[in-house]
Amino acid sequence: MRIRRILLGVVLAVWLSSTGGAQPGLSLVDEAISNRFQERRETVLDQMVSILDAKDLTKGGFLNIAAALQRGEHREVALARLRLINEPMPTANMFWTYLIAIVMATGHD
């Protein structure tokens, strides 16, 4: 396993040195980096939300539900999936985390 990691590190180092560490033509100006980040963020959120399916509530997990609720899309499907994931309702030591997470996230848009 250790040899595999070392080999992977060597391959990565060779690749980075041959490409200069960045893709050719990419601007490293703060605004350009920020724009690429926002584009990637929107793409990832789109993909996460698209996994939720009203006809198949077995698809999607907590991250998909969070993405849908954050964007205000497919709210009913996301909440239905959340109910299904939480059946039966958690009663062990960590049940309180949902409430704390909601309070902490409120107003952070």
Backbone angles phi, psi at 82, to 5 degrees: -60, -40
Q: What is the mean pLDDT of residues 19-29?
A: 69
Q: What is the mean pLDDT of residues 50-70?
A: 91
Indicate the SS3 state at residue 53.
strand
Residues 6 or more apart in contact with residue 27 via CB below 8 angstroms: 33
pTM of the predicted protein model: 0.59
Q: What percent of the chain has pLDDT over 90?
A: 40
- From CA 39, how far away is CA 18, in angstroms rounded? 27
Answer yes or no: are the C-beta atoms of 46 and 72 closer than 8 Å: no
Which token pair is 41?
Answer: 């963020």
Task: Determine if the peptide bond prior to 90 is cis (ω within 30°).
Answer: no
